[in-house]
Chain A
Amino acid sequence: MNSNNFSVVGKSVPRVDIADKASGRTKYTNDLSSPGMLHAKLHISDRAHAMIHSINLKKAWEVSGVRAIITGESFPFPVGPLLADRPPLALKKVRYFGEPIALVVADTEQQAKKAAMLIEVVYEDLPVVNSPSEALKSDTPLIHEDLGSYKVQVKGVYPVPNTNIANLTKIRKGNLEAGWKNSDVKIDSKVSFGPSDHAALETRSARAEIKPSGHVIVHTASQGPFYVRKLLSQFFHIKPGMITVHTPAVGGAFGGKGAVQLEFLAYLASRAVGGKLVNLQNSREEDLMASPVHIGLEARVKLGATQEGKLQAAEIEYLFDGGAYSDTGAGISKAAASDCTGPYSIENVYCDSYCMYTNHPYATSFRGFGHPELTFAIERAMDKLAEKLNMDPLELRLLNAIKPGDTTPTQVHLNASNIGDISACLLRMKEMLNWNPDTQIMKTEDGKIRAKGISCLWKTSSTPPNATAGAVLTFNTDGSVNLSCAAIEVGQGTKTVLAQILAEKMKMAMKDIHVKLEVNTHHDPHQWKTVASSTTYIAGRAVMAAADDAITQLKKIGAVALKCLPDDLEVGNSRVYVKDSPEYGVKITDLAVGYKYPDGNTVGGLVLGEGSYNVRHLTPLDPETGFGKPGPQWAVGVQAVEVEFNPEDFTYRVLKSATVLDAGKVINPQAAIGQMRGGMYMGLSWASRESFIFDGHGKILNPQLRTYDILRSSEIPEYLVDFVETPLVDGPYGARGMGEYGVIGMAGALGNALAKACGTDLYQLPLTHERIWGSMKGGGR
């Protein structure tokens, strides 16, 4: 594709939401004020695993302004997106520290909070399951005694009754024994890390109201208002048409706002007070502990290769720490299995990917959906293999890079469209970072060690086989066009990108495109969710279809006005004109609400463009072999870092952080660079310091941003970003999607660079100075 042929696509046009955001006037869920609204507050568990002996509400009821208090008994049924295993409020037992037990509704937030704090719960402690490997042992207590009776909500989730296994996905490709036989060199590598958090700056919040008509109205900071509607409908038996979910601007999400949690509670709260509007907003502590978190992992990767470095076999075990409930953790373990090897061509692959129940906070999707996690495991293993082979880590990756003609672990055939170009990304990175054997480790004059580390990455979007999006266009009397589409603006710039696609297709100026930022399920067309880096592709195609529809209608009315056939006409520059004599035409202004003859007679009515798109030909994975097609396409990339390590005190700084991504056509380069930088920052912050700290009893010791440490502005590296643009044939203008990719390789690249600098294996995240000291000196063990 030649970008020079485009007028808007491929250009860094300013974000459509920028002026309001820069003036602080954008409204997020909790900025909508509503007189008379009641407020809800949670009472959360201070045990990680215990039976609830009794709950005493007496003191709480004495607080003035309290209108309702509800507990697990008010809705004693489990809910959940993939497997219904979680009561909205704990029932009979608690399974994680921070689990909501009761909810108070009061006139003011202060009253609700005061009352919630006065609720007294008597517990009977149970043994706490602290890690996924412990959870897998046969003598470990069960976290869900009734796992066998839970309802599986979607195909392809396989819980194992009478165990702590919420899902097991198996990959069996080729012949592992033959693979080992062909291998001259083998390595066995382990990594592990505990749960961490999304920590979006806007905490989650939801409001609900039940109108006398039975109509349920929900306002929520969500990545999937239609998904909220679906689950509310399913579990509370309300017809979807009787539920409206509204999402204004969202203050960061990173996967964490794709989960449905507070919406259930806000609905139950409203139900308890006769349908009045009730607001439930997380405090930061609740957002970190009570709401779902970023998943942890224990992984073991065995690789075999020939003397020349050609990979022959991979045997992989992923034990995801799904926490107390499966939410999307079960899907994450499946997605990680689908792409378990990283972007390398391996004939013989065997993988068991588990989502384990533990007594940690439950996990939901986090930017990358299993891929930042599996990539750390695979990329550490690749570096160890390179070391054993005495090969340059980049050359080893180049030799094994997956390409058209190869198959993925689930045996999808790759072609020139459905996968990006890993080799091209590697070569670009080599240049960008001046990667050669001499510069990979260097001593500085003041005794520090500089080292570079690299990581490849890939990901397909594990969407359901019916993931869909729609777009509706209406025209204003000034000839400008309104775009309504349920893609959620979480900061990634999706509304701008969709507006660009529309402007390009309609050959219109950006100033004539008005994108509705808020989403409302009542008047926007259905969309699955805004997740999985899939929106540019799915919603982008819907927008193109809507534009085609509008163009057809404009030509039809234009043909009447211009006394010719629709085929003779073209649409562009806010006009409909005759192809071979463009000066002869009519303005869209004069067509959009019908074409008016001089005598006042009008033909054509309104131009209303509509279009939709859904993913095609995806199949569930075979339970025994994993054979199947999990997603439409793979974007790929390479990331690298350069660190400076101080062997005196085991501290380090990340000097440079680089990404080369092949996400197909880049619709908005500056927005894309922002996504990559932000992704790298998030990946580095996670890999270098973010983690929940638990005591031996599953209690979280760092539930605040003061102690749950996040990288600040002074600690960031220099960012380098570049793109390779292998078009996806059916993507909008060749685009694939990219929101998650900046995070995926950072832990692998950082781990590899630091391991080189320290000369020791580093297998645990986060890579804190103390942990490095421990690995090098055996300290802290």
Chain B
Amino acid sequence: MENIETGQLIKLTVNEQSKEIYVRNSETLLHTLREKLGLMGVKPGCYNGDCGSCTVLIDGIPINACHILSVEAVGYQIMTIEGLKDQTIPEEFIKNWAIQCGYCTPGFILNSYALVQNNPDADDAAIDEWLESNICRCTGYQEIKESVKNILNVKR
């Protein structure tokens, strides 16, 4: 059964750098970012859109990298945790003890960053809903929510 998978050379903009990469057409962005570009801050937890640990920002919108093909990401600004320059959220996570094993952390930080950027007036209910997409199995969520609330309160 000689069916060779088809692929192509594409150009992705990742963390403000342009990258030329050969990808399979069926390759997810999660795979490309990790295996081809070595961006291991993009964490797989389910490969199925259920856990949010692979969250990246695409033109500022949080997207599960396991749920988008690399060929679909051409032409957009892709940001991973490695490209996050604003350290406000990571510092707040540190201050609030919102990190234990750290596996969910990149996804939560990027998701929270997108919330703060896109929805600075979010009330508690909106914060809750926004964070629903991500699973943390260690902390019990309170510290993560507090971190986000603290930042939004300062901004208000």
Contacts and interface: CB of A to CB of B under 8 A. Distances in A.
A705 B51 CA distance: 7
B137 to A, nearest CB: 5
A608 interface: no
Contact of B45 (A203, A489, A670): A203
B72 interface: no
A250 B137 CA distance: 13
Contacts of A249: 101-102
Contacts of B105: 21-22, 24
Interface string B49-65: 11101000000000000
A674 B50 contact: no
Contact of A714 (B51, B80, B132): B132
Given A284-B45, A678-B100, A706-B50, A712 B81 contact: no
Q: Report the contact-size class of chain B (Cβ under 8 Å from the partner).
A: 35 or more
B94 A14 contact: yes
B144 interface: yes
Interface in A665-679: 670-671, 673-674, 677-679
Interface string A7-26: 00000001101111111111
A19 B94 CA distance: 8
B67 interface: no
Given A22-B99, A110-B24, A677-B142, A704 B50 contact: yes
A492 interface: yes
A202 interface: yes
Interface string B95-135: 00101111111100100000000000000000011011011
Given A33-B38, A677-B142, A716-B140, A23 B53 contact: no
B140 A677 contact: yes
Overall SS of chain B's interface: loop
Contacts of B49: 706
Nearest to B89: A22
Contact of A705 (B43, B46, B132): B46
Nearest to B134: A713
Interface stretch (A57-65, A135-143, A394-402): A57-65
B51 A15 contact: no
Interface in A328-362: none
The CB with the most chain A CB atoms within 10 A, among B48, B100, B101, is that of: B101
Interface string A701-733: 000111000101110100100000000000000
Contacts of B106: 24
Given A202-B45, A250-B101, A714 B128 contact: yes
Contacts of B46: 284, 704-705
Contacts of A31: 34, 40
Nearest to B82: A24
Contacts, number: 159
Contact of A716 (B47, B138, B142): B142
A15 B100 CA distance: 9
Nearest to A63: B1
A671 B97 contact: yes
Contacts of A251: 43, 101-103
Contacts of B5: 110
B135 A201 contact: yes
A199 B132 contact: no
Contacts of B129: 714
B76 interface: no
A433 interface: no
Contacts of B109: 22, 24
A28 B103 contact: yes
A18 B35 CA distance: 25
B153 interface: no
A15 B90 contact: no
Contact of A710 (B4, B93, B135, B142): B135
A20 B82 CA distance: 11
A202 B90 contact: no
Given A14-B94, A15-B99, A283-B47, A716 B141 contact: yes
A713 B101 contact: no
B142 A492 contact: no
A680 B99 contact: no
A250 to B, nearest CB: 7
A399 B109 CA distance: 48
Nearest to A668: B97
B137 A21 contact: no
Contact of A252 (B4, B101, B140): B101
Interface in A169-207: 199-203
A18 B99 contact: yes
Contact of B40 (A27, A490, A704, A710): A27
A637 interface: no
A495 B50 CA distance: 31
A201 B136 contact: yes
Interface of B: 1-2, 4-5, 24, 34-35, 38, 40-41, 43-51, 53, 80-82, 90-91, 93-94, 97, 99-106, 109, 128-129, 131-132, 134-145
Q: Which 3 A-B pairs rank lowest in CB-CB distance, beginning with the nearest?
A: A24-B41, A491-B101, A251-B103
Given A18-B94, A679-B140, 15 more contacts: A15-B99, A17-B102, A28-B43, A31-B40, A59-B1, A110-B5, A201-B103, A201-B104, A201-B136, A251-B103, A252-B137, A284-B45, A491-B100, A712-B131, A716-B140
11 contacts: A26-B102, A110-B24, A201-B104, A201-B136, A252-B103, A283-B47, A489-B101, A682-B140, A710-B135, A712-B135, A713-B144
